Chains A and B, each alone.
Chain A
Amino acid sequence: MEADEELVKRALKGGNHHYGVLIQRYADYLFGLGMRLTGGNRELAEDISQQSFLKSYSYLKSFDYRKTYKYWLTGIAVNCFKDMIKKEQKYTDLSSGSEQSYSPQLEGNSGFFDLIKPLTEDEKVLFTLKYIYEYQINDIADFLDLKPGTVKSKISRALEKLK
């Protein structure tokens, strides 16, 4: 199996099919992350996954080889989710007052989705990255462009909500 970094190099040289290998390799991972962040919304999770791969390709030149591709992709996916939420909020602000015409189909471990329901979108991201994916505080701060102290306090606030 070829290393991710080697595939990135080859994709940069103009071989899109090498990027296809990376897509297939991380499709499940990104989809899972999307499912957890969106509380089991398959459509949104698929959108996040696809947007992340598209963004990752357009910024592939700036890939930092000191980090792993998975780590880099996680950061992109998390920011895609945040962008999507902002867009959705704008949309719901515009359509507020009217009835919701679309109800997402929720799938997966309902216990976990029920658990994180009281959290805000930001807190869901922090909680999922910390407790499901076991990322370090510094890594999470790096993904979200926050200070480690801010991440810590937000996570403890989220935990208080869940108690």
Chain B
Amino acid sequence: MNSFEEIITLEKTVLYAQRDKELFSFYTLTLITQEQASKKLQKKLWASLVLFITCLALLFSPISQFTGSLINQLSAIDMIGLFYMALASYGVSGLCIVLIKKGAIGFR
């Protein structure tokens, strides 16, 4: 048992040194950076794949009927009428602002 304790005591004093610590650290950091880059790339690939599949699903699913009818309805709107309506409403609101400003000056 004595020799057992001696061996243990001796082993505790032994110092093991990693060869070329700076190079080891540099190489490990390079591996870490490499792993991070591959993870990022994987994430991007997954996101692109999901996006691609979603687009395909939208194109080939019954939703395409719905989107088609929506586009049809939008194209049926009278754009010239809409333009005149917007012009008239902007004109009226502009006139109102001018009148309010004049009224405010008159009160002073």
Contact = CB atoms under 8 A, between A and B. Distances in A.
Interface in B78-108: none
B71 interface: no
Given A109-B10, A115-B7, A132-B8, A54 B17 contact: no
Interface in A3-58: 16-17, 19-20, 23-24, 27-28, 30-32, 35-36, 45-46, 49-50, 53-54, 57-58
A112 interface: yes
A28 B10 CA distance: 18
- Size bracket, chain A contacts: 20 to 34
B21 A27 contact: yes
Interface string B56-80: 0000000000000000000000000
A58 B35 contact: yes
A163 B33 CA distance: 48
A111 interface: yes
A-B interface, 10 closest residue pairs, ranked by CB to CB distance from nearest: A32-B16, A112-B11, A27-B18, A31-B18, A23-B25, A111-B7, A35-B16, A27-B21, A20-B25, A109-B14
